[in-house]
Every structure is written in structure tokens, then in C-alpha cells.
Structure 1
Amino acid sequence: MAAHQLSDFQRNKILRVFNTFYDCNHDGVIEWDDFELAIKKICNLHSWPTDGKKHNEARATLKLIWDGLRKYADENEDEQVTKEEWLKMWAECVKSVEKGESLPEWLTKYMNFMFDVNDTSGDNIIDKHEYSTVYMSYGIPKSDCDAAFDTLSDGGKTMVTREIFARLWTEYFVSNDRGAKGNHLFGTLKL
């Protein structure tokens, strides 16, 4: 049976996330060291002390996510996920979601983790300032963050709750519709 093929649009979106959010040291592969860098970035951004409760929760969550990612994508079990392995995993994931299945558990955990990282006030809503602060720390310009948030929130008319975030998350990773709002979840999409 032939593997599901991602469109060029889907492929470019998925590689953008690989390069911007997962391969933190930009060496072309995802490995535990990238997650360590992400933990450090997030903890510094939120002023969470090393070995404090939030730091330890972030480490535990990202360890579960890393273990899940390895299980689904690290075909040769070398403790690294290459771009090829990443794309193959996503092709299968998109195929599964199109059949009505859920996102893999590790990705749902990552989605919830990213919501919590964005929702710094803890009010279960991501506002423009929270969103921009987090994504600017990954090198996305403030103007792109602000424009993307305006798209995601219908110009501030829609509150970005966990439920809305989950819908946008799935749209980003699965949709082939260039007009889908979820395409802007990680900053203004310029593909």
C-alpha cells in the first residue's frame, strides 16, 4: 500500500514547525537536546526557576512528548528524528485524521502544553500579548505574531480558548486549505 502523500503546502507547513519549534539547535534533526533547549527557553521566558514546580512539570511533559515522537517517527531508533522521518510520520498522521481518527497522544499533549505556555495568566484564554510574547521568543517578528493572532481571533472577536486552539492546531497540521485560519497558528503563514 502506498504511503499517503502530503501536498507541497502541507509539507512546507510541517517543515516550518520542524525548523522553528522542534529543531531548536538547527542541526537538521530533532533529538532530546532540542527539547532541553525548549525547556530552557520557556522557563526563561516565564521566569520559572530551575528545578521549580513549573520547570519540572515542563520537563516531565516534554519528556513524554519526546518519547511519543520517537515511538511514531524514529524508525531507525537512533534517538534522532530526521526531516524525512518527520514528514513520513505526518503523512501517516494526516491520513489517519482524514479517516476520522484522533491526533497521536504525544501531539495532543504537545498541543495542550503549548496552550498552557501561551496562557501565562492561567485564565484559559490566550490573548494577543501572550501569543506574541511566546512566538517572538522563537524568532517570529512581532508584526507577524500580531497579524496572525488577529486572523486566529477574527480581529479580537473570538476568544482563543483551549477548544479553539485545538481546532486551529488540527487545521494547521492537517488542512490543505490555504484559507484555513489554523494556518496562522505559528505566526503569519508566508508559504
Structure 2
Amino acid sequence: MGQIFSSPKLTDFHKEKLLHEFRTFYDLDGDGYVTSEDFRVAKEYICKLNGWPADGEREQTADAVFKSIWESLEKLGDRDNDGRITSDEWLQMWENLYRRMFDKLPNGTMPSIEDLPLWCYRYMLHRFHMFDRTGDGTIDKEEYEYVISHFNVSAATAHKAFVLFSENHQRTIDFPTFCHLCAEYYFSSDPAALGNFIVGKLDW
């Protein structure tokens, strides 16, 4: 898995992964920053993608989660209080979290879900619900491929990514497993860590 916290600063590889997520899932209009409106649009897109009816239980849950995440991101990342988070502020927010984890886990161990702040837990929960279209508590190949293909990932690449991070379908992708994969994506400096592939990108 490679060294996790050799430094409290983001490496170039960490930045590449974090910026890929920022640009792929949130900065949908490509203007270089995200606002509460971007989050609203992203939420509505995901609800429509998954067929969650307006004012239904899953839509209401998604709405509450998105608002909670945005409030946390705005508080932690919007350094100049202009109501938007730039890509630089996004990276700074994650580097602040890295510093906290570096102090908490100096031996380089992978952080567990219990080690992370509430906003980060909610963030991972939202990502899990985005892929778990049926709400059965697991992400299967068809769910993953369907959702990720709507973020400019080809069907072939989506298939390869799922095979990789599910270890050729040997791992059940439930929430604890998904959180572990997310932790690898956000914190591991190893390009071969399986969690790097959860966003459907193979060529790091």
C-alpha cells in the first residue's frame, strides 16, 4: 500500500487524485470552483441518474447529506468566505485533514472510518449511496458501471476498474469495504493501491 503519511503535506500523486475527483464529480461546468449551486446540481443529477423521485426518502436523504457536506466544506475550505471553493482551497482542505491524520497516525497506518471527522464520514457515505442504486447495502458490478459511465468513463474502463478493486469479484463491496477503498484513494501514496480505481480511472 506504500507509505501513507511520510509527510503531512500532499504529494503530487495525492493532488492528482483529489483534483480528478473535484473536476469529475463536482465542478461539472469546469469553471475551476464549486458552489452550493454546483452541489445542488450534482445532487439532482445523481438523484435523476438513480431514479430517486423528488421528495422521496432517498432524495430527501441525499438532499440532507449534500447540504451537510457543503456546509462542512464551506466552513473548512472556503478561506476567503466568498461562497465558493476553488481547486486550491479544495486541496488545502484535504491537506489540513492530512496534518490531523499525520499527528494521529504517525506510524503510517491506514486511517479507519473511526479516525475521520464527521464530514469525511458523510462524504464517503454519500459516495457509497451514489453507487448503491438499489439500496441493498452493496455495490455490484452493474450498479458501479452504470453510475460511473455517466461521468465520462467508458464501459470497458468501468468494467476493468470494478474487476481491480473487487479483486476479480472476490470482495463484496459493502460500506466498510468501500470506506477502506476510499481511504486508499484519499491517503495512499501507492499508485497500485486498489482504492485508486474506485473513480474509474486506471492510468495514474
**TM superposition score normalised by structure 2:** 0.87
1:1-191 mapped onto 2 (5 Å cutoff): 4-98=8-102, 99-100=104-105, 102-191=115-204
Q: Secondary structure at the match of 1:30?
A: strand
**Offset of residue 143 of structure 1:** 1.4
Please tell me whether the aligned partners of residues 43 and 55 of structure 1 are also in contact (alpha carbons under 8 angstroms): yes
Question: Does the aligned pair in 1 maintain the 2:22–2:87 contact within 8 Å?
Answer: yes
Following superposition, the deviation at residue 104 of structure 1 comes to 2.8
Q: CA deviation at 1:4?
A: 3.7
Q: Equivalent pairs: percent with the same residue?
A: 35
Higher relative contact order, structure no. (Cα contacts within 8 Å, ≥ 6 residues apart): 2
Residue pair 2:9, 2:98 contacting (<8 A) in 1 also? no
**Partner Cα separation in structure 1 for residue 97 and residue 49 of structure 2:** 31
How many aligned residue pairs are there? 189
Q: CA deviation at 1:63?
A: 0.2
2: distance between equivalents of 1:176 and 1:95?
15
Deviation at 1:103, TM superposition (A): 2.6
Classify the secondary structure of the residue corresponding to 1:137: helix
Indicate the SS of the match to 1:156: coil
CA distance in 1, matches of 2:19, 2:116: 18
Assess if the C-alpha contact under 8 Å between 1:30 and 1:82 holds in 2: yes
Equivalent residue letter for 1:162: F
Alpha-carbon RMSD across the aligned residues, in angstroms, is 1.6
Give the 3-state SS of the residue equivalent to 2:170 in structure 1. coil
Unpaired segments ≥5 residues, structure 1: none
TM-score normalized by the length of structure 1: 0.92
Q: Alpha-carbon deviation of 1:124?
A: 1.4
Judge which range, 159-168 or 97-106, deviates more.
97-106
Aligned-partner residue type, residue 14 of structure 2? Q
Deviates more, 1:46-55 or 1:162-171: 46-55
